[in-house]
């Protein structure tokens, strides 16, 4: 499976995801510069974490208009797989490719620490192969990760099983105390109605290398590969 990882001005997790996909998962990867219009035959596009354009206007708001995003949007509309992680999730919401928005964290502070999350559905590439009753320890690093949507949108994504992950405690209990940023319904990730575009706030690529002492993130990448290549 061939992946394309986009680099925007201010991306800082692009090389992390390239390293995990190529070295650990053994997949071909193309690094895509944001000004290019060519996706180079990728089967899945990754929008990585970071601070695209310094987030000067609003997280992801400027990157959404980068030339490569014209191609990513058309790719997604044709059913191509797209995953946005952290800042990439913010870009996807700004582009209208996934529902909702990412607001400032409830405590108005940047949060960088390990959290726990659990699948909210098994009906997605990211979660199909993951134990729905377990909890994954995955880092977060964001100032605007507070997932918000209008009540009617929340009802719709809940009814259509579009919530991918929820923040939980280490035992898998979804509680207010396990919610690190104030996200509605403890939502840590969502997909679109067609189930080919995915937004995820935690960083699985930061929990994939044995040298880091945590490989829980590998489960997400393995789920993608097994679901697509099955």
Q: Which of 13, 86, 168, 191 is catalytic?
A: 86
Q: Phi/psi of residue 152, each to 5°?
A: -70, -35
Q: Which of 13, 94, 144, 203 is catalytic?
A: 203
**Please, where are the H alpha helices in the chain?**
14-19, 67-77, 87-94, 151-159, 218-229
CA distances to 17, 91, 110, 114, 198 from 80, rounded to whole Å, are: 19, 17, 32, 31, 11
Check if 142 is active-site: no
Check if 106 is active-site: no
Q: Which of 71, 94, 144, 205 is catalytic?
A: 205
Check if 13 is active-site: no
Closest to 47 measured CA to CA, from 1, 98, 94, 13: 13
Neighbours of 50 (CB within 10 A): 23
User: Which residues, at least 6 apart from 210, have a Cβ–Cβ distance to it below 8 Å?
Assistant: none
Neighbours of 73 (CB within 10 A): 18
Question: In this structure, are residues 204 and 4 in contact, taking their beta carbons and an 8 Å threshold?
Answer: no
- Which residues are catalytic, by number? 86, 203, 205
């Amino acid at each position: 499976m061939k992946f394309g990882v986009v680099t925007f001005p201010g991306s800082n997790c692009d090389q992390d995801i390239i390293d995990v996909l190529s070295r650990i998962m053994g997949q071909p990867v193309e690094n895509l510069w944001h000004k290019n219009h060519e996706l180079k035959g990728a089967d899945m596009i990754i929008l990585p974490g970071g601070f695209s354009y310094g987030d000067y206007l609003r997280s992801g708001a400027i990157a959404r208009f980068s030339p490569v995003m014209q191609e990513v949007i058309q790719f997604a509309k044709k059913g191509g797989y797209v995953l946005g992680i952290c800042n990439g999730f913010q870009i996807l919401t700004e582009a209208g490719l996934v529902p909702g928005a990412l607001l400032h964290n409830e405590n108005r502070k940047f949060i960088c620490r390990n959290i726990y999350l659990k699948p909210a559905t098994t009906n997605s590439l990211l979660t199909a192969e993951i134990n729905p009753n377990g909890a994954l320890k995955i880092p977060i690093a964001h100032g605007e990760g507070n997932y918000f949507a209008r009540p009617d949108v929340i009802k719709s994504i809940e009814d259509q099983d579009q919530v991918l992950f929820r923040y939980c405690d280490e035992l898998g209990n979804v509680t207010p105390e396990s919610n690190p940023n104030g996200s509605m319904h403890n939502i840590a990730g969502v997909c679109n109605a067609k189930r080919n575009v995915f937004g995820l706030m935690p960083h699985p690529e930061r929990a994939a290398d044995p040298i880091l002492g945590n490989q829980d993130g590998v489960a997400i990448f393995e789920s993608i590969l097994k679901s697509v290549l099955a």
